[in-house]
C-alpha cells in the first residue's frame, strides 16, 4: 500500500468516527426512553454526556483564537521536556553504573523493582506537598516515569553488547576506557534511543497527570477544570488538543531518531 | 620487544606461536568439569600458514582462543615468540567467525579504529583505512555501515580491520564459514594475496578440509571432543603462489586430501554422534 492511500484510509477512520458521533448526538430518534427521559424523542447519545463534534470544534477554535490555550500548552511542554531531560540523564548515568558494577546492581536490585512496581499516581500528592503546586512537582512525577524506562534500557544496552564485538575490541587493543567510549556507550545509547518514543510519551503523561491532580495551568488543568463543572465539550476539547500535541512530539522524536540511528538496520529500528 | 630479542638463537628458530601440553577445562553449571582440549602441542613458525581441521565441537576455536589469550589454559603453556603469554596476545590479530564489526561505525571508521586507539591521528588513520579498503576492492563503500554491506564485504572490512594494525600473528576462526561457496573462494584467494605480501604466522581454524589444504603450509587434525587431542600433522607439498580453484585440480592435492580424510572421517562420525547431529 502506498503512502497516499494509507493516509486516505487513516483519515477515513477519523471522518467515520466523527460523523457517527455527530449523527448520534444531533438527530433525535423517537420511541426511546432512558435516563428517565420524559420526551418520546431523544438523541441516542445525550449531548450533555457526550457533547457534539461541532461544540468541541468551536471550543478548540475559540481557545486558539483567544489565545488562552498557548500558555497551557507551553507549561505542559516545559514540564514534559524537563522531566524527559532529567529522567534520561539520571537513567543513563545510573543504568551505566549498575551495569558496570554487578555488586551495586545486586544490592539495589530488589529496591529498583519495588520502586518501579509502585503506581506513580500515588506519588503525585506527596510531590505536591514536597515541591508545591508549580512546575517542579509535575517534573518530579514525569522523572519517576522516564527514569525507569531509560534506566532499564541503558542497563540492557551495556549488558547485551555482543560478546564477539567485545572480544574483537579487546583484540584490537582497546583499554577499559576505550571500550567504554567505543563499545558500551554507543550500545547503551542505541537502546536508549530505541525507547525514545516511550520515554517521551511518559514524560507527557507525567506532566498531564500531575496537572490533573493539582495545579493552576497546563492541559491537565484545563481538562480537570472542565470536568469540575460538567463541561463535557471542554473535556473533549482538552483531550483532543492533548492528542494532537502528543502526535506532534512523536513526529519530532521520529525525525531525531532517524538522524541518530542511521547505522541501524530498518527492521530493528521499529521497536515500539 | 622482549619477544623479538630472544628470537634468533643459533640453529633453532623461535616459533611465533608455541602451545605445549595445553589443556582447557570448563566448570559446568552442575559442578562437573568439561575438558574441551587435552594435551595439545602445536608450533607455528614465523611466516607459516597452519590450518587446524576437526569435527564440529572439537575445540578448535578453544585452542585458537588460547593462542589469542582470550582463554587461559588450565594446564600447559603458550609462548608467543619465546615469551610466555599472559593476558591478551598483543602480537596477534583475530578474525572472528561471527559478526564482530562495530555496527555503529562506518566501514572506514571500523578499519581506522585499531590505529586511532593506538594514538594515530584521526585523519591519518582514516586515510590509511581508505587505502586498505581500496586494496581489498571495497574502496567505494567506506561510508557504509556494516548492515548496508553484503556478507563478503563485511568479511573484507573485518580482514583489513585486523591487518591495518600489522599484527605479527593472524588468528582466524572459520572466518569464511558463513559465506557462500563462490565468495569463500574469492576471499581465500584474497587472503593468500595479502598474506604473501608480508608473510605473517597464520593459525587458521576451519572444518573444511579442502579449504585447509588449499590455503595452508601445514594441516593439523584434531580428534572429536570432549578432551580433543591433536591427532595428525601433514605438510602440504603444493607450490605457491596458489589459486584456490586451480590447486584443487592438482594430483598432489587429491592424494593429500584422501590421506588426511582417512584419518579424519572416524573422528567426524564420532563428533556427529556426540553432538547429536547427523
Q: What is the pLDDT of residues B19-71, one digit of tens each?
A: 999 999 888 888 888 888 888 899 999 999 999 998 877 788 899 999 999 99
Work out the minimum CA distance from A264 to partner chain B, whole angstroms. 7
On whether the CB atoms of residues B31 and B197 are closer than 8 A, the answer is: no
Contacts (Cβ under 8 Å, ≥6 apart) of B199: B46, B47
The band of B276, judged by pLDDT with boundaries at 50, 70 and 90, is low
Domains and CATH numbers, chain A: 1-47 (no CATH), 51-269 (1.10.3720.10)
Kindly state whether residues B57 and B186 are assigned to the same domain: yes
The model scores a pTM over 0.80: no
Q: What is the pLDDT of residue B12?
A: 64
Rama region for B231: left / alpha / beta (φ>0; ψ in -120 to 50; rest): alpha
Kindly state whether residues B171 and B240 are assigned to the same domain: yes
Interface test with B, best of A163, A169, A172, A183 (most B CBs within 10 A): A172
Residue with cell 628470537: B7
Kindly state whether residues B177 and B54 are assigned to the same domain: yes
DSSP for chain A reads --HHHHHHHHHHHHHHHHHHHHHHHHSEEET---TT--SSEEESS-HHHH--HHHHHHHHHHHHHHTHHHHHHHHHHHHHHHHHHHHHHHHHHHHHHHHH-HHHHHHHHHHHHHHHHS-GGGHHHHHHHHH-SSHHHHHHHHHHHHHHHHHHHHHHHHHTS-HHHHHHHHHTT--HHHHIIIIIHHHHHHHHHHTHHHHHHHHHHHHHHHHHHS-SSSHHHHHHHHHHTT-HHHHHHHHHHHHHHHHHHHHHHHHHHHHHTTTS-HHHH---
Q: Which residue has the higher pLDDT, A208 or B274?
A: A208
Q: What is the pLDDT of residue A239?
A: 93
Residue of B nearest to A176 (CA): B117
Kindly tell me if the per-residue pLDDT of A118 is higher than 60.
yes
Residue window 36-95, chain B: list those with CB within 8 Å of chain A.
Answer: 68, 70, 88-90, 92-94
Kindly state whether residues B76 and B174 are assigned to the same domain: yes
Q: What is the pLDDT of residue B48?
A: 94
CB contact (8 A) between residue A165 and residue B101: yes
Helix A196-213 × helix A68-100 angle, to 10°: 130
Interface test with B, best of A164, A168, A175 (most B CBs within 10 A): A168
The SS3 call for residue B94 is strand
Kindly state whether residues B24 and B138 are assigned to the same domain: no
DSSP state of B224: P
The band of A163, judged by pLDDT with boundaries at 50, 70 and 90, is very high
Contacts (Cβ under 8 Å, ≥6 apart) of A146: A83, A84, A86, A87, A88, A91, A199, A202, A203, A206
Q: What is the pLDDT of residue B113?
A: 94
Kindly state whether residues B69 and B15 are assigned to the same domain: yes
**Chain B residues closer than 8 Å to A264 by CB:** 103, 147
Q: What is the pLDDT of residue B29?
A: 82
| Containing structural domain, residue B214 | 2-91+167-275
Kindly tell me if the per-residue pLDDT of B218 is higher than 50.
yes
Q: What is the pLDDT of residue A272?
A: 39
Rg (alpha carbons) of chain A, rounded to whole number: 24
Give the 3-state DSSP-derived string for B66-82, with helices as H, strands as E and coil as C: HHHCCCCCCEEEEEECC
The band of B9, judged by pLDDT with boundaries at 50, 70 and 90, is very low
Kindly state whether residues B123 and B178 are assigned to the same domain: no
Q: Which residue has the higher pLDDT, B273 or B133?
A: B133
Question: CA B28, CA B204: separation in Å to the nearest integer?
Answer: 28
Q: What's the whole-number average pLDDT of chain A?
A: 88
Q: What's the whole-number average pLDDT of chain B?
A: 88
Kindly state whether residues B50 and B141 are assigned to the same domain: no
**Chain B residues closer than 8 Å to A175 by CB:** 117
The band of A171, judged by pLDDT with boundaries at 50, 70 and 90, is very high
Quick one: CA torsion of A34, A35, A41, A42, rounded to 10 degrees?
A: -110
B7-16, B99-108, B178-187, B218-227: segment of lowest average pLDDT: B7-16
CATH number reported for the structural domain that contains residue B175 in this entry = 3.40.50.300
B164, B188, B203: which is the final residue of a domain? B164
Kindly state whether residues B109 and B158 are assigned to the same domain: yes
CB proximity B145 to A under 8 Å:
yes
CA A248 to chain centre: 11
Contacts (Cβ under 8 Å, ≥6 apart) of A242: A208, A219, A223
Model confidence pLDDT, tens digit, residues B248-275: 999 999 999 999 998 888 887 877 777 6
B164, B191, B218: which is the final residue of a domain? B164
Kindly state the helix (H) or strand (E) to which residue B148 belongs, with its residue range: none
The band of B195, judged by pLDDT with boundaries at 50, 70 and 90, is very high
The band of B11, judged by pLDDT with boundaries at 50, 70 and 90, is very low
CB contact (8 A) between residue A263 and residue B145: yes
Provide ipTM, 2 decimals. Answer: 0.86
Kindly state whether residues B82 and B8 are assigned to the same domain: yes
Interface test with B, best of A259, A263, A267 (most B CBs within 10 A): A263
CB contact (8 A) between residue B98 and residue A173: no
Residue with cell 588450565: B74
Kindly state whether residues B108 and B127 are assigned to the same domain: yes
Question: CA B253, CA B36: separation in Å to the nearest integer?
Answer: 31
Average pLDDT (B228-244) is: 89
Kindly state whether residues B66 and B146 are assigned to the same domain: no
- The total number of structural domains in chain B stands at 2
Model confidence pLDDT, tens digit, residues A53-72: 999 999 999 999 998 899 99
Amino acid at each position: 500500500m502506498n503512502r497516499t492511500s494509507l493516509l486516505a484510509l487513516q483519515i477515513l477512520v477519523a471522518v467515520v468516527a466523527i460523523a457517527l458521533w455527530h449523527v448520534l448526538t444531533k438527530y433525535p430518534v423517537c420511541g426511546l426512553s432512558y435516563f428517565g427521559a420524559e420526551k418520546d424523542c431523544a438523541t441516542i447519545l445525550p449531548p450533555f454526556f457526550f457533547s457534539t463534534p461541532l461544540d468541541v470544534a468551536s471550543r478548540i477554535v475559540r481557545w486558539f483564537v483567544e489565545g488562552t490555550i498557548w500558555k497551557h500548552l507551553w507549561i505542559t511542554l516545559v514540564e514534559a521536556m524537563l522531566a524527559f531531560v532529567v529522567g534520561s540523564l539520571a537513567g543513563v548515568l545510573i543504568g551505566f553504573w549498575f551495569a558496570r558494577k554487578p555488586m551495586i546492581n545486586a544490592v539495589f536490585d530488589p529496591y529498583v523493582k519495588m520502586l518501579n512496581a509502585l503506581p506513580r499516581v500515588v506519588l503525585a500528592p506527596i510531590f505536591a506537598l514536597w515541591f508545591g503546586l508549580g512546575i517542579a512537582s509535575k517534573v518530579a512525577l514525569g522523572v519517576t516515569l522516564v527514569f525507569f524506562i531509560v534506566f532499564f534500557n541503558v542497563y540492557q544496552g551495556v549488558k547485551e553488547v555482543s560478546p564477539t564485538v567485545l572480544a574483537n575490541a579487546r583484540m584490537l587493543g582497546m583499554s577499559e576506557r576505550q571500550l567504554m567510549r567505543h563499545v558500551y556507550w554507543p550500545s547503551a545509547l542505541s537502546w536508549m534511543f530505541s525507547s525514545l518514543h516511550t520515554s517521551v510519551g511518559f514524560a507527557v503523561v507525567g506532566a498531564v497527570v500531575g496537572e490533573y491532580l493539582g495545579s493552576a495551568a497546563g492541559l491537565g488543568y484545563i481538562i480537570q477544570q472542565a470536568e469540575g463543572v460538567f463541561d463535557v465539550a471542554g473535556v473533549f476539547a482538552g483531550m483532543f488538543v492533548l492528542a494532537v500535541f502528543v502526535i506532534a512530539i512523536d513526529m519530532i522524536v521520529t525525525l531525531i531518531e532517524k538522524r541518530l540511528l542511521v547505522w541501524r538496520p530498518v527492521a530493528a529500528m521499529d521497536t515500539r | 620487544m622482549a619477544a623479538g630479542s630472544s628470537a634468533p638463537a643459533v640453529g633453532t628458530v623461535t616459533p611465533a606461536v608455541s602451545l605445549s601440553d595445553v589443556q582447557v577445562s570448563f566448570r559446568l553449571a552442575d559442578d562437573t568439569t568439561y575438558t574441551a582440549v587435552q594435551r595439545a602441542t602445536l608450533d607455528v613458525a614465523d611466516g607459516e600458514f597452519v590450518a587446524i581441521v576437526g569435527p564440529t565441537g572439537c575445540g578448535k576455536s578453544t585452542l585458537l582462543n588460547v593462542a589469542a589469550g582470550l582463554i587461559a589454559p588450565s594446564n600447559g603453556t603458550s609462548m608467543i615468540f619465546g615469551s610466555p603469554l599472559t593476558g591478551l596476545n598483543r602480537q596477534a590479530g583475530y578474525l572472528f567467525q561471527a559478526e564482530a564489526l562495530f555496527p555503529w561505525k562506518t566501514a572506514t571508521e571500523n578499519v581506522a579504529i585499531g590505529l586511532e586507539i593506538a594514538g594515530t591521528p584521526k585523519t591519518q588513520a582514516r586515510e590509511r583505512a581508505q587505502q586498505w579498503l581500496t586494496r581489498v576492492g571495497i574502496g567505494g563503500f567506506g561510508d557504509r555501515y556494516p548492515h548496508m554491506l553484503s556478507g563478503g564485504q563485511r568479511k573484507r572490512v573485518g580482514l583489513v580491520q585486523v591487518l591495518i594494525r600489522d599484527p605479527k600473528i593472524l588468528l582466524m576462526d572459520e572466518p569464511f564459514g558463513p559465506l557462500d561457496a563462490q565468495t569463500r573462494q574469492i576471499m581465500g584467494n584474497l587472503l593468500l594475496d595479502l598474506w604473501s605480501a608480508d608473510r605473517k604466522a597464520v593459525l587458521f581454524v576451519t572444518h573444511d578440509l579442502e579449504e585447509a589444504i588449499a590455503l595452508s603450509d601445514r594441516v593439523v587434525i584434531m580428534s572429536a571432543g570432549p578432551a580433543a587431542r591433536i591427532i595428525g600433522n601433514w605438510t602440504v607439498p603444493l607450490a605457491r603462489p596458489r589459486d584456490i580453484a586451480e590447486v584443487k585440480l592438482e594430483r598432489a592435492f587429491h592424494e593429500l586430501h584422501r590421506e588426511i580424510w582417512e584419518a579424519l572421517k572416524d573422528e567426524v562420525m564420532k563428533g556427529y554422534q556426540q553432538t547429536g547431529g547427523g
